Amino acid sequence: MDNFKQWEINAREYSNCNCAYGCPCQFNALPTQGHCSAVVAFEIDQGHHGDINLDGLKVAGIFRWPGPIHLGHGEAALVIDERAKPEQREALLRILGGLDTEQGATIFQVFSTTLDKLYDPIYADIDFHIDIEDRKAHLIVKDVILSHGEPILNPITGQEHRVRIDMPNGFEYTLAEAGRGWSKTSGPIALDLADSHGHFTVLHLCQSGVVH
């Protein structure tokens, strides 16, 4: 642990998975459909890995597990901002791969232990914009990901419904705005998610977990 490079990222994240709104996984329950798939993206407002600056870089990912995440056998494809320099790419891959991180401290480290297959990284332009409070996001990686997130609507009135997930001891975030999303992906992992769980949140993580 003492040999880990210290890192920290403060980022804004959008995630769309195949579960019903709210996502049972957030409550340690089994996934809605018995299996898990997701599209995730974040933009780093401030970040570093050792002395390597990561400000302004974007990351996206496609994930799929044949059952609940904790049972493993998952696969993942990571997209790294094409603007990243070689040393920044390596830094991001180490963070996302759960390296230089205490065991169980972050979602990246935990998820890394559940994957059987990690495809070669994709370096591409990531068109990503997010408004956490408004529960809106769009994500485009040409020929790889097309995704957008919206607020949940009241089925009777059509008005926007606001609900949040509060996780004081979480390994991803402390507070997330819940919404819904649509995602289509191609490449190594093909997904088609429609009107399913989405969340919009701040990621403030370091090698020891969520920064409070």
Per-residue model confidence as pLDDT tens digits over 97-129: 999 999 999 999 999 999 999 999 999 999 999
CA dihedral of 201, 202, 206, 211, whole degrees rounded to 10: -110
Whole-angstrom CA distances from 76 to 26, 96, 117, 119, 185 are 20, 11, 6, 6, 12
Q: What per-residue confidence (pLDDT) applies to 2?
A: 54
Q: What is the pTM of this model?
A: 0.95
Q: What per-residue confidence (pLDDT) applies to 1?
A: 47
pLDDT, average across residues 187-198: 97
pLDDT, average across residues 47-64: 98
Q: Are 108 and 64 in contact (CB under 8 A)?
A: no
Phi, psi of 26, deg, nearest 5: -65, -15
Q: What per-residue confidence (pLDDT) applies to 187?
A: 85
pLDDT digits 0-9 by tens, 1-46? 457 889 999 999 999 999 999 999 999 999 999 999 999 999 999 9
Q: Are 28 and 68 in contact (CB under 8 A)?
A: no
